[in-house]
Structure 1
Amino acid sequence: MLKHWPPLNALRGFEAAARLGSFHKAAEELHLTQSAISQQIRSLEGYLEQPLFHRSGRSVSLTDAGYDLLSTTQSLLQQLAVGIRRLEQYRKPNQLVVNTTPAFARHWLLPRLGDFQRRHPEIDLWLFTTDEPPDMASQTIDIAVRDDIAAQAECSFQVLLRDRLYPACHPRLLEMPAAARNTLHGEREMDWSHWAVEAGIDVGQQGHGLNFSDPGLLLDAACQGLGIALVSQLLAEQAQAGGLLQPLAEQRVRGPSWAWLIHRDSESSPLTRGFCTWLRNALGENTGA
């Protein structure tokens, strides 16, 4: 790491002069005088202890060192500009940051975001998905809605829904003998051992097959006809309604509990209250509550 860096203005002046091939044009672009550009480049050459331009009257051309520095400088300035523009997202006055799992976002929340936007056009929702539960104390998150969270300091915690699970597959697999159907395996409650203990019903599940750590991918695979799976009633509601999934048994077994964490700094916000009210109503409609 360099102990001292050349001034940013000097790098901007150099980049403009090198790109335009003229100190005069660089000065016009940056709204400076030509002498100011010349001074910036002289200071940069002094810092680097080598010339960056060949000077011949009013014309200038890059030295080999100048060509090398131009590539580095343009990349640096471009990354800096992108980074600064990206910071604009933190200035939105009506932004609400909601953390959830990729599976919940894709299979439950995304199909309902249009309804949310129609009801709350004033809220700029930032959907932040992670595989692991967030640390609400160290991350900028207003609400977390997940099936793998517990109480945390500085947050209110509440269980919203206790999910149910059932075995299902794409309807075309029903034309095959049960023994010929592939089996899709998941983690935690999505594992078939959970079904065996809770329901004790044989629906043709096998000990081998495809394995998934993401319940959303497990559901996608079942919807594409890759095999039978133990799926979440909450997440599979849209797929079943669309004819992509057919239950293999009427039995439903215990699934994960969906809960929310609301940071105390966000609890009183009308944005938070609006999202939470909408979420409760939407969950109630799809669970018969």
Structure 2
Amino acid sequence: MLKHWPPLSTLRGFEAAARLGSFHKAAEELHLTQSAISQQIRSLEAYLEQPLFYRSGRSVSLTDAGHDLLSTTQALLQQLAVGIRRLGQYQKPNQLVLNTTPAFARHWLMPRLGEFRRLHPQVDLWIFSTDEVPDMASQTIDLAVRDDISSQAECSFRVLHADRLYPACHPSVLALPVEQRTTLHGEREMDWSHWELESGIDVGQVDQGLNFSDPGLLLDAACSGLGIALVSQLLSRQAQANGLLQPMVDQTIRGPNWALLTHRDSENSPMARSFSEWLVSSLAADQQPSA
């Protein structure tokens, strides 16, 4: 294994020369002299201890090793360019970085995002959805809204909503005989064993069926008519309103707590405050009978 990386400049010179098939054209593209490109290539070949080009007069062509290195170098430089461009988003003066779960982003936030944008067009919101709980102390995140998070250092913590769970399915599934209904299984609180323990009601759930680690995907599956599922009351409101989901019984059981974490550096930010106030107000509106 190589102990050190070759200089990035030699890789850029090599990629340009290999892609253009000419040291002269590579020099023009990189605003260097042809002798500088030749020196970069010789330095890279000496480092790798093998030739990368066949040289015949002014024409050059890649060796087998050169072809191999070209694909690797192009992928590396492209990934590096994308990463560097992405850093520009941290320089936006009005940016607010929100971390949340994919399920909350897709099923609760997205249907309401137009309203927030209308009320606060100056906020450049970046929605950073992850399955993993973020480390707010080490990551560039202003706010986090999750149902799997607890207090962290350098952050304020606030419980926003105590969710409820209930069994539901697409209306077409409810019309099927019980033995023909597929049971959709989730993880954590979305597990049917939690329902059986808390409610004691049998809605025809069985151990066999389809399994999902993502509550949002579980909800999507139920809405598409794949079977019966234990779903989040908070995340399923839009699906119910659209007629894609129907409760199987009136009973609900306790679910996870949705919490808001605000990084200490963002607590006094007007943008963070605007989003937090809108979030609290929207969650409260969800609890009204008309919602």
AA of the residue aligned to 2:199: A
Distance 1:40 1:206, change over 3 A: closer
Residue of structure 2 in register with 1:226 after alignment: 226
Which residue of structure 1 aligns with residue 18 of structure 2? 18
Partner Cα distance (1:120, 1:143) in 2: 16
What secondary structure is seen at the aligned counterpart in 1 of 2:265? coil
Residue 139 of structure 1 is matched in structure 2 by 139
**Partner secondary structure for residue 40 of structure 2:** helix
Alignment of 1:212-251 (within 5 A): 212-251=212-251
Query: Residues 54 and 161 from structure 1, CA distance in 2 versus in 1: closer, same or farther, beyond 3 angstroms?
Result: closer
The corresponding residue for 1:174 is: 174
Change (3 A) 1:54 1:128: closer
RMSD of Structure 2 on Structure 1 (CA)? 2.7
SS at structure 1 position matched to 2:162:
strand
- Which range moves more in the overlay, 34-43 or 103-112? 34-43
* Partners of 2:150 and 2:33 in 1: CA distance: 61
The whole-number CA distance in structure 1 between the counterparts of 2:184 and 2:51 is 65
SS at match of 1:126: strand
Amino acid at match of 1:86: R
Offset of 1:226 from its aligned partner?
Answer: 2.2
Q: Aligned partners of 1:263 and 1:65: how far apart in 2? A: 49
Question: Structure 1: how far apart are the matches of 2:281 and 2:65?
Answer: 64
Q: Which protein shows a greater Rg? A: 1
Distance 2:67 2:193 in 1: 64
Alpha-carbon spacing, 1:278–1:35, altered in 2? closer, same or farther (3 Å): same
Residues 234 and 48 (structure 1), Cα distance of their counterparts in 2 relative to 1, 3 Å cut:
closer
4+ residue runs over 6 A deviation: none
Point out the more displaced range, 273-282 or 85-94.
Answer: 85-94
Deviates more, 1:238-247 or 1:190-199: 190-199
Q: 1:36 to 1:207 in 2, by over 3 A?
A: closer
Structure 1 residue 98, shift from structure 2 partner: 1.4
1:78 aligns with 2:85: no
Amino acid at match of 1:78: Q
Following superposition, the deviation at residue 56 of structure 1 comes to: 4.7
- The residue aligned with 2:198 is 198
Q: Which runs of 5+ in 1 are unaligned?
A: none
Tell me the distance in 2 between the aligned counterparts of 1:11 and 1:212.
Answer: 44
| Structure 1 segment 271-282 matched on structure 2, within 5 A | 271-282=271-282
Structure 1 CA distance for aligned equivalents of residues 70 and 156 of structure 2: 53
User: Residues 238 and 36 of structure 1: is their aligned pair in 2 closer, same or farther, counting only changes over 3 Å?
Assistant: same
Question: Which piece of structure 1 moves more, 131-140 or 254-263?
Answer: 131-140
2:101 equivalent in structure 1: 101
- Going from structure 1 to structure 2, the CA distance change for 1:37 and 1:287 (only over 3 Å counts) comes to same
SS of the counterpart of 1:11? helix
Structure-2 separation of matches of 1:276 and 1:142: 11
Of residues 29-38 and 164-173 in structure 1, the stretch that sits farther from structure 2 once superposed is 29-38
- Please give the per-residue CA displacement for 1:163-192, whole angstroms capped at 9, x wherever unaligned: 122222211123223454333333333333
Match of 2:266 in 1: 266
Q: Deviations over 1:36-72 (max 9, x none)?
A: 3344344445545555545554444445554454444
For structure 2, list consecutive stretches of 5 or more residues without a partner in the other structure: none
C-alpha distance after superposition, 1:234-278 (max 9, x if no partner): 111011101111122222322221111111111111121111111
* Number of corresponding residues: 289
Partner letter of residue 141 of structure 1? I
* Counterparts of 1:65 and 1:188, CA distance in 2: 51
The worse-fitting range, judged by mean Cα deviation, of 143-152 and 125-134 is 125-134
* Counterpart secondary structure, 2:132: coil
Q: In structure 2, what is the Cα distance between the partners aligned to 1:273 and 1:57?
A: 67
Query: 2:257 is matched with which residue?
Result: 257
Change (3 A) 1:15 1:160: closer
Partner of 1:159: 159
The CA distance in 2 between the partners of 1:173 and 1:54, in whole Å, is 68
Deviations 1:22-47 (A, max 9, x none): 33322222222333334434444554
Identity %: 78
